[in-house]
Chains A and B, each alone.
Chain A
Amino acid sequence: MNTEYIGIIFMYVATVALAIPLGKYIAKVFKGEKTWLDFMAPLERLIFKFSGIDPNREMNWKQHLKALLTVNVLWLFYAFFCLLSQGHLPLNPDHNPNQTPDLAFNTALSFLTNTNLQDYSGESGATYYTQLFVFMFLHFVSAATGFAAMMVIFKAMKDKVTDKLGNFWDYLVKIITRLLLPLSFVVAVILAFNGTPTSFKGKDTVIGLQGDTVHISRGPAAAMIAIKQTGTNGGGWFGVNSAHPFENPNYLTNMVEDISIIIIPISLIFALGFYLNKKKLAWVIFGVMTTGFLLMVFPSVIAEVNGNPAIAHLGVSQPTGSMEGKEVRFGPAASAYWGITTTVTSNGSVNSMHDSMMPVSGLAQMFDMMINSFYGGVGVGFMNFYIFIIIAVFISGLMVGRTPEFMGRKIEAREMKIASLIALLHPFIILVGTSLASYVLMHFPNADWGTKPSAWLNNPGNHGFSEMLYQYASSAANNGSGYAGLTANNIFWNVSTGLVIFVGRFFPIIGPVAIAGILANKKFTPESAGTLKTDTTTFGIMIFAVIVIVAALSFFPALTLGPIAEHFSLK
């Protein structure tokens, strides 16, 4: 079999094989059992002591949210002001300028929320200070924030728990010291030994073999790229992200980075099983997510490997598939596989330009972000899925005439209202954003906003519409990848996607935590013959159906105007 296919199959199998023990390990850490990384405990004690935090103080769900939101608002202001003044801050060997207010607004929100939509290019739009002390810092803590919120739900799902849902700071710090930091360290070392720069030197100037002068951007990139992947962040050091030959030098680093993208989201499913001692439920969730994932991988890989019919029409051969926007060292299969892993997980790093991919791939990538819970981002992926579980439980309950119950607690009107609002919020902000942009584009093409709306798009027709739809889907899903042809660094896009990013992050955190908190306070009834079983294949199919129906009904019309129409116009 061809080495490109073997490459991606190996990547997936290796990911799952590593994710199961990793999930067990995560469950152990948060059950307070002994693990081999216990030597990090003194560091944790130092952090808590310095911060004046008692990590053993139990919080209820409201206190968790207060802590989460307070610290996030603080990080937002910190990031915003650093970006506005980065030109004057230290560690700026290339003398890059400050970000404009609208760009800083978008960038700060984007990194705070684990989105990492980048309307700037790292080479010219950021400094080593902002890369390390803003972006990389937020890479760690935004992933940890999502994880901490998810842990509240895990804890709330335990039997007979009520108000004692653990300590927010404890979750936040431990996921960093016990998982994100050690894992990133390993990945960063692998990257460094394969050619990713690690030093603090600025640009180099070289006269090439043919006599051209080139300037080569560098910097301490390896450390950041590692956490960008493991934390499902995606915001890279260089503008073209993991397509850049320093950011992702060869096929080995590509495998390591791509495995890093989905390993934590997958391991968290197993962590749930080990933590609650409900392994069957974990396998049901894993089955649903994997089915969705594979349904996206196959068509995209096939489309890219087969190449672009329009290019074939021009008479050249495509032995290595569709190559526009792709790198030779990865090839079409690994590029398509990456495109799916990065969009199912809200990572958003890219190793090829999605804007140039086949419409089928674009459809799959956008659909991934519209569903946003086939694996999903660190912590938040499970939380989105949790909403779908609640809805599926409720609908199944109605169908079979039983009281809808999940984990021994009754699901009633209040929880369902929250769940429905959160499930509908996602399509709402994507579609309203896209229609607003389309409206402005059609009716005010020459508005004088720095970039005229008529100059936004890099491609005509359906593909141009896809550029806008993708941008809002990516923002709402906190993904951060883009159809990079879109001219997004201007006030309209910076502000509108900034707002979508914000709404798309915090409400889907608040909602599920609230539901879990409310449920935990209800009377616990042990499973009986009358309980609707949630750890069965039937229920898995039910969740899958709910997801597909909600997402398909909401997004099908928009997708028809974009990638679906483009696919059928491709000859």
Chain B
Amino acid sequence: MKTYLLPSIKITIILLVILSGLYPLAIAGIGKFTPGHGDGETVSYKGRVVGYANIGQKFTKDEYFWSRPSAANYQADAGVGSNKGPTNADYLNKDVKGRIDTFLKHNPGVTKDQIPAELVTASGSGLDPDLSPAGAKIQTARIAKIRGITQQQVLALVDAQTEKPLLGLFGPPKVNVLKLNVALDELKK
């Protein structure tokens, strides 16, 4: 036993120092040179921090682009998915159907088959910061009307904020909802 226990204890101590102490400290040091200085990158509006670029926010007011439904209600200290299964009748007939009805009510002129599923399904993290370009564009008529601007202006904003696939090759295009809404507020002035 002693042949193995003593080295076990000692190697645990030194590996703890190296792996759990020095390694994350080194990464934290390098993190200081990243855009968010290792604390997470923030987004500001009128000099006030209004959120983190990567962390989705709840947008339910008609004058903003809505973000996706969230099982976590966008509480970023308790992210969670709905974990509803694809055949769950309650989920389909209450949750999803309810969201479709709400969306149609607030977006007159939009038909059901134009709504992309992402707007009526909850994200995995409950903190999804993005929409697909289609998910944003379907909301432009509502926003233009409420804000008293032309739909072209809003569409142009969506296009300007759309992030293309990585190197134009990999993955889906997307729009960051918080940045898009900040840009929308900035348009007003």
| Residues of chain A at the chain B interface (Cβ within 8 Å) | 3-4, 6-7, 10, 43, 46-47, 50-53, 66-67, 70-71, 74-75, 78, 94, 121, 123-124, 132-133, 136-137, 140-141, 169, 172-173, 176, 181, 184-185, 188-189, 192-193, 195, 197-201, 203-204, 206-210, 212, 214-218, 220, 222-224, 238-240, 243-246, 249-252, 254-255, 307-308, 310-311, 314-331, 334-335, 350-353, 355-359, 458-464, 466, 483-485, 566, 569-570
Choice from A74, A199, A218, A318 contacting B117 with Cβ under 8 Å: A318
Please name all residues of chain A whose beta carbon is closer than 8 Å to the beta carbon of B37 when the two chains form the complex: 199
Asked if A3 and B165 sit within 8 Å, CB to CB, the answer is yes
Q: Is the CB of A197 within 8 A of B31?
A: yes
Return the 6 tightest CB-CB contacts between A and B, nearest first. A198-B31, A485-B83, A251-B171, A243-B124, A463-B85, A353-B81
Are B57 and A208 closer than 8 Å at their CB atoms? yes
Nearest opposing residue in chain B for A354, CB measure = B83
Q: With CB as the reference atom, state the residue of chain A lying closest to B48.
A: A207
Q: Are B121 and A323 in contact (CB under 8 A)?
A: yes
- B1-53 at interface with A (beta carbon < 8 Å): 1, 3-16, 18-20, 23-24, 26-28, 30-32, 34-42, 45, 48-53
- Could you tell me if A245 and B87 are in contact, using CB atoms closer than 8 angstroms? no
Q: How far is the CA of A520 from the CA of B181 in the complex (A)?
A: 67
Known: A3-B171, A70-B5. 15 other contacts (CB 8 A): A3-B165, A3-B172, A71-B12, A74-B12, A123-B78, A210-B64, A223-B27, A311-B117, A319-B117, A319-B134, A325-B123, A355-B84, A356-B83, A460-B89, A460-B90
- B11, A220: Cβ atoms under 8 Å? no
Q: Which A residues touch B9, using CB under 8 A?
A: 74
Give the nearest-CB partner of A352 in chain B: B124
B24's closest neighbor in chain A, by CB?
A: A223
B-chain residues with CB within 8 Å of residue A217 when the two chains form the complex:
76-77
Task: Tell me, in angstroms, the Cα distance from A159 to B136 when the chains sit together.
Answer: 64
Interface-located stretch among B107-115, B140-148, B153-161: B107-115
Query: In the complex, are the beta carbons of A53 and B40 less than 8 A apart?
Result: no
Cross-chain contact B84 with A324 (CB below 8 angstroms):
yes
| Central interface residue in A214, A222, A251, A352, by most chain B CB within 10 Å | A214
Task: State the CA gap A209–B7 with chains docked (Å).
Answer: 56
Give min CB distance, B129 to chain A, whole Å.
5
Report the minimum CB–CB distance from A359 to chain B (whole Å): 7
Q: How far is the CA of A197 from the CA of B42 in the complex (A)?
A: 12
Assess the B166–A252 pair: CB atoms within 8 A.
yes
Q: Which chain A residue lies CB-closest to B124?
A: A243
Contact between chains at A192 and B19 (CB < 8 Å)? no
Given contacts A176-B15, A215-B75, A355-B85, is CB(A240)–CB(B80) below 8 Å? yes
A571 to B14, CA, bound (A): 58
Residue numbers in B under 8 Å from A352 (CB-CB)? 81, 124
